[in-house]
């Protein structure tokens, strides 16, 4: 039987920290209007929990971006897969993402939002991985600092699965090592070939 997920951050700790982050964001906005831009898909649960706890007046939009694709380490190109509907000219924008890894996504999105005329752009990430950044970017609001392991749950996926886990889990060491070193170049290698997964939740094709 596959082992249960290796929980890195429990639901309880996540929600407590999200509450504190909301208070930090409120202090930053000083009661002013904030345009919250969520980065799909990974931030969706974090975004929902965060905005519900904000007291500042909020308008909400989402954008989809990815720097992963199939070969994560290769191009470093960030693709935008969805347009913004809200006008951000002159606005205070809070960019909400699940995780700060190489930093390419947030760097590209911040540049993009500034180009659209945003007055301030600050990033809020639930997780910040302890890795060297490929892009010069930092997040003003950070939930947790985590080691360089591949994480999933609470919106983050492991090959499109497990976004609905309530906790954040760390992928098994072998899967982790493989993802970090070689699997990024072998996207067709399936997760069930690589190690154990939560019962009844073995990765399959996509969604």
- Whether residue 68 contacts residue 101, with contact meaning beta carbons closer than 8 Å, is answered with no
Shortest approach of Mg ion to residue 204 CB, angstroms?
Answer: 21
Shortest approach of Mg ion to residue 114 CB, angstroms?
Answer: 20
52: Cβ–Cβ under 8 A, 6 or more apart, which residues? none
Which of ligand IMP, Mg ion, none does residue 101 bind (CB under 5 to 8 Å by kind)? Answer: ligand IMP
Q: Which of residues 88-117 bind ligand IMP (CB under 6 A)?
A: 97-105
Q: Which two tokens stand for residue 206?
A: 């996509």
Shortest approach of ligand IMP to residue 68 CB, angstroms?
Answer: 5
Choose between 57 and 147: whose C-beta lies nearer to ligand IMP.
147
- Please tell me which residue in 97, 98, 101, 157 is annotated as part of the active site: 101
Which of ligand IMP, Mg ion, none does residue 156 bind (CB under 5 to 8 Å by kind)? Answer: ligand IMP
Shortest approach of ligand IMP to residue 170 CB, angstroms?
Answer: 9
Near ligand IMP by CB under 6 A: residue from 150, 154, 162, 197: 150
Residue with tokens 């090592």: 177
Which of Mg ion, ligand IMP, none does residue 96 bind (CB under 5 to 8 Å by kind)? Answer: none
Q: Which of residues 22-61 bind ligand IMP (CB under 6 A)?
A: 39, 42
Alpha helices of 30-143 — where are they, by DSSP H? 44-53, 104-115
170: Cβ–Cβ under 8 A, 6 or more apart, which residues? 6, 8, 149, 150, 151, 176
Q: Which of residues 23-52 bind Mg ion (CB under 5 A)?
A: 42
Q: How far apart are CA 41 and CA 105, in angstroms?
A: 13
Q: Count of residues binding Mg ion (CB under 5 A)?
A: 1
- Whether residue 100 contacts residue 137, with contact meaning beta carbons closer than 8 Å, is answered with yes
- Whether residue 42 contacts residue 99, with contact meaning beta carbons closer than 8 Å, is answered with yes
Ranked by CB distance to Mg ion, the top (closest) residue is: 42
Tell whether the torsion through CA atoms of 9, 159, 193 and 174 is positive or negative. Answer: negative
Omega within 30 of 0 (cis) for the link into 41 = yes
Q: Which of residues 141-180 bind Mg ion (CB under 5 A)?
A: none
Catalytic residues: 101
Binding interface with ligand IMP (CB under 6 A) = 39, 42, 67-68, 97-105, 150-152, 156-157
């Amino acid at each position: 039987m596959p082992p249960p997920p290796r929980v890195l951050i429990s639901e309880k700790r996540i929600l407590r920290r999200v509450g504190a982050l909301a208070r930090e964001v409120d202090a930053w906005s000083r009661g002013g209007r904030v345009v919250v831009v969520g980065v799909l898909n990974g931030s969706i649960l974090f975004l929902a929990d965060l905005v519900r706890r904000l007291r500042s007046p909020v308008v909400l939009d989402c954008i989809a971006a990815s720097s992963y694709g199939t070969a994560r380490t290769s191009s470093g190109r960030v693709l935008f897969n969805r347009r913004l509907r809200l006008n951000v000219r002159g606005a205070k924008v809070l960019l909400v993402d699940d995780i700060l890894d190489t930093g390419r996504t947030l760097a590209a999105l911040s540049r993009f939002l500034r180009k659209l005329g945003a007055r301030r752009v600050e990033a809020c990430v639930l997780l910040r991985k302890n890795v060297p950044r490929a892009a010069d970017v930092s997040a003003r609001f950070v939930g947790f600092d985590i080691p360089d392991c591949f994480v999933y749950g609470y919106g983050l996926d492991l090959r499109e699965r497990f976004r609905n886990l309530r906790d954040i889990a760390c992928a098994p060491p072998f899967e982790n090592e493989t993802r970090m070193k070689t699997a990024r170049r072998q996207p067709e290698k399936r997760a069930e070939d690589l190690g154990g997964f939560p019962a009844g939740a073995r990765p399959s094709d996509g969604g």
